[in-house]
Structure 1
Amino acid sequence: MSDRLLIQNLTSLVALRNTQLEKLQAAQAEKVATAERYKKNLERLHSLATNSGASGSLPLALAANCGNYKQAVLAMADSHRLDLTMHEADMAVSQRALNQAYVKCEVLGQVLEKNEKALASKGAVQERKVHDDLATQVWLRSQK
């Protein structure tokens, strides 16, 4: 495989890895936003449970209704906490995948850079050789 073809293939691969990395970053950002929504909802549910008032000073029917309401809100908050915990675990897995994709992208970028430098160096050597050959020809012609 020629050096230029190798560099072209590596450039394409780096571009694909960058695209994959951007998709993973966007997905992680969405997950962070979802986690923030969970947290805000938990705050609201806690606020609803605490601001519903004391049920002990109400008539029996209203006290039972208020107690059932608080119990339902607290149960919903528990369910939301569980969902948030599971979502945060999923976020951790996604973050690891994002970190791995970033490392792969960086490694490929370094390989591409190394090959580009090697090709440039090789080209410079060939160019110097051509200049030396021309200088030698000019010198030989001036000796005649």
Structure 2
Amino acid sequence: MSMGRTVNSLARLVDLRGREVERLTGELAGQQAMRKRYENNLTRMEQLLHAAAPSDQGCPVLSSNSALYKAWLADLIASHRQDLAHHDTVIAASRGALTIAALKHEGLGRVLHDKRALLERQHRVREQKQQDQLATQAWSRSRLQA
């Protein structure tokens, strides 16, 4: 009966690994959506930077304001690119963790399948032995009665 407990324990472990894979898949999807938002924001900020009025408009206050705006926007773009690069490393780590979890889940699934097949074979062997014993008893009785 310990084989049955082993199979039940393995089934629970496979289920837990499956949940972990689902959780990591969800996290990765969220991180990829966040990456897309970063990219969209960068695109919009770069468009704003290129569309900003030239800083030599004749009015020193407007020129100074425009130059400060462009510098601030350029700094924000650089900071956003740095955040995106960091986020890409987080995504890469998440992909690695997901790959490892998926491989563990798949490996345990194979072990569980093999254990279940072994348990089924053992069950069929026991049933066959019982049937053989009953047939032998019936044959013995028929020989004694004759």
The answer to whether the superposition gives a TM-score over 0.5 is yes
Deviations 1:54-73 (A, max 9, x none): 33345332122112111111
1:82 is matched with: 82
List alignment gaps of at least 5 residues for structure 1: none
1:10 is matched with: 10
1:132 is matched with: 132
Letter in 2 for 1:22: E
1:142 is matched with: 142
Letter in 1 for 2:48: L
- Map 1:65-104; keep pairs closer than 5 Å: 65-104=65-104
Partners of 2:139 and 2:53 in 1: CA distance = 103
Letter in 1 for 2:135: A
Tell me the CA shift for residue 10 of structure 1.
0.7
List alignment gaps of at least 5 residues for structure 2: none
Tell me the CA shift for residue 5 of structure 1.
0.6
2:59 is matched with: 59
**TM-score, scaled relative to structure 1:** 0.92
- RMSD (Å) for aligned C-alpha atoms: 1.5
1:28 is matched with: 28
Partners of 1:49 and 1:16 in 2: CA distance = 49
Partners of 1:83 and 1:59 in 2: CA distance = 36
Farther-moved stretch of structure 1 (116-125 vs 23-32) = 23-32
Partners of 1:62 and 1:5 in 2: CA distance = 78
Partners of 1:125 and 1:56 in 2: CA distance = 92
1:49 is matched with: 49
Deviations 1:42-94 (A, max 9, x none): 01110111111333345332122112111111110000000000110111111
Letter in 1 for 2:126: Q
Q: How many residues align?
A: 144
Letter in 1 for 2:130: V
**TM-score, scaled relative to structure 2:** 0.91
1:114 is matched with: 114
Deviations 1:7-56 (A, max 9, x none): 11111111111122221111111111111111111011101111113333
